[in-house]
């Protein structure tokens, strides 16, 4: 090139305004789509984490339901042994119950024994209403069968007898 000739860059091709607007709209649509996909992915991750946590917390629910009658039976046996005066058998039953209660506690299973508490239909099943002079209405006067919760979720309602109001 000689000095008289100047190098000039070729000008950018002219893009019609309508085409430019269309390209901008398409770019914005793609950006919106990408943001929505990112949000959906984030929601999926959060939902999956909640489901895994729930599975971890409540995965033992079936086994817990199956074990509750075993505990009830052991407890009934300890009451019968106590009445019969069988101290060795009673000591063995109590030790077994303690181990079972420790296993329950370690796995988030909590006993519901509402004797003397106000009746709660969310945690108690009323078997009958009985007059109970001197006891406030809707108070649990006898627990027929204890209830249980697993990580604050009801496994079995306590079966109770409730004080009936006067009148």
Q: Regarding the domain delimited by 110-167, which CATH topology (the fold level of the hierarchy) does it fall under?
A: Nucleotide Exchange Factor Grpe; Chain A, domain 2 (2.30.22)
**Residue 29, C-beta contacts closer than 8 angstroms, at least 6 positions apart:** none
Give the per-residue pLDDT at 4: 53
Question: 14-60: per-residue pLDDT in tens?
Answer: 768 888 889 999 999 999 999 999 999 999 899 988 888 887 777 77
Confirm whether pTM is higher than 0.95: no
Which residues in 140-149 are b (16+ Cβ under 10 Å) and which e? bbebebbbbb
* Structure token digits, residue 43: 């929601």
pLDDT in tens, 63-122: 788 788 888 888 888 888 888 888 878 888 888 888 888 888 888 899 999 999 999 999
Q: Which of 56, 53, 96 is nearest to 73 (CA)?
A: 96
Q: Distance between alpha carbon 143 and the CA centroid of its chain, in Å?
A: 25
Domain ranges of the chain: 17-58, 60-107, 110-167
Question: In the prediction, which pLDDT does 122 show?
Answer: 96
Distance (Å, whole) CA 136 – CA 143 = 16
Closest CA to 121 of 132, 129, 110: 129
pLDDT digits (tens, 9 = 90+) for 53-64: 887 777 777 778
């Amino acid at each position: 090139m000689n000095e008289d000739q100047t190098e000039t860059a070729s000008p950018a091709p002219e893009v019609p305004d309508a085409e430019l607007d269309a390209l901008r709209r398409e770019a914005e649509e793609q950006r919106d789509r990408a943001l929505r996909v990112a949000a959906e992915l984030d929601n999926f991750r959060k939902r999956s984490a909640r489901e895994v946590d729930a599975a971890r917390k409540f995965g033992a629910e079936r086994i817990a339901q199956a074990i509750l009658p075993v505990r009830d039976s052991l407890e009934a046996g300890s009451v019968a042994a106590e009445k019969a005066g069988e101290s060795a058998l009673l000591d063995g039953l109590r030790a077994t119950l303690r181990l079972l209660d420790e296993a329950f506690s370690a796995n988030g299973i909590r006993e519901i024994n509402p004797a003397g508490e106000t009746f709660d239909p969310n945690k108690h099943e009323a078997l009958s209403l009985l007059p109970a002079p001197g006891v406030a209405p809707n108070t649990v006067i006898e627990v027929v069968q204890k209830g249980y919760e697993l990580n604050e979720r009801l496994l079995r309602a306590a079966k109770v007898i409730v004080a009936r109001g006067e009148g």
